[in-house]
Amino acid sequence: MRKIRVGVAGYGTIGQRLADGVALQEDMELVGIADLAPTLSLQALRERGMIGENGVKYNLYLVDGANEAAFREKNIPVAGSFADLCQNVDIMLDSAPGGVGAQNKKNYYEKYGVKAIFQGGESNAVADVFFHGYANYEKGVGQDYLKLTSCNTTGLIRTVDCLDRAFGIEKVAITIIRRVADPGDYHRGLTNALQMEKAPTHQALDLMTIMPHVNATGILVHTPVTHGHIITVLATAKNGKKLTKEMALEAFRKHPRIRTVTLAEGFKGNASFFKYARDLGNRRGDMYEIGLWEDSIVESGNDIMYAFNVPQESITIPETMDAIRAATGLQTTREEGTVMTNKYLRIGAFKR
């Protein structure tokens, strides 16, 4: 079977990881990446001979407005224009800044008849389906335009969907302790304060869009850290059913994209996960799984409460690979699609 040809628009925090993710999929071909300026990320890629994950050659295409001379000055080879890339792929992964993806869809994807998957920063209106690999995979099958949930919503839905499939969930109340910026970002400034957002959070609303049978609400607090978010969830089962810690833990332990950990092991907070990922040798210190503290699982009447860490830079990559599989029809069911993604990204290997 011919490999699915994939392009990536935007080689920033998410785009780099999307390109690496595609390069690891044995049934996909990374045709190229596209960007506007010769960033440090592209300069680093040039120093590696434009070789990325799995030894794959990363061909670079320039989007409208790019100054090709600036790339020549940095000795970064250019393979062609964004239009050239779009005409040679089956599907584009759009990780351009919010709003740019919608313009790309209008000016390129629709024009050349190419499917596209947008990241969480884009408006929901850009896509046919608001997508999550586990919660509504089948709705994305064969669709032209899918949009991923944000990093926090992705992790949140993993846990709620896990419990919902096992026991049936009626409602959740969430609190998000949100990192203020990605490592290396300066545009938000240096902060020494916590900042509240108006409730309910968009993550709660997004969860209900994908899982309309679950009533969700939540609070979000911005924190002056960069290595991951922490989310707490209070979950209520349907029909007054009691959820015990043992029931929840058994379900979480079975989920390939949930890593259950303890404080005693040394997982004291968000930085512990980042350091552990580096010690594992994971590229850029990435981790595809969320880290859920067994110590945090407590019973409150019939409800269950738990907390988990969200590695915001890499968490949406597996679900994006799922989206490619659904949109192109590589696999038509959640079980088949997520299993293949997990296999090629080596997700859940620690459970074996």
Spatial distance between the Cα atoms of 239 and 213, rounded to a whole number of angstroms: 13
Spatial distance between the Cα atoms of 348 and 276, rounded to a whole number of angstroms: 15
Residue with tokens 């080596």: 346
Positions marked active-site: 151
Spatial distance between the Cα atoms of 82 and 101, rounded to a whole number of angstroms: 13
Give the pair of three-digit tokens for residue 325. 């599989």
Which residues does residue 307 pair with via DSSP β-bridges, in sequence order? 232
Say which residues have a Cβ less than 8 Å from residue 297's Cβ, sequence separation at least 6: 245, 248, 249, 304, 305, 306
Q: How many residues does the chain have?
A: 352
For residue 200, whether the previous peptide bond is cis, meaning omega lies within 30 degrees of 0, is: yes
For residues 115 and 144, the answer to whether their CB atoms sit within 8 Å is: yes
By CB atoms closer than 10 A (0-12, 13-18, 19+), residue 233 is buried
By CB atoms closer than 10 A (0-12, 13-18, 19+), residue 271 is middle
Q: 296, 291, 282, 286: which is closest to 253 by C-alpha?
A: 291
Give the pair of three-digit tokens for residue 290. 């969320």
Query: In the sheet that 91-94 helps form, which strands lie side by side, from edge to edge?
Result: 80-81, 60-62, 28-35, 4-9, 91-94, 115-118, 145-148, 129-131
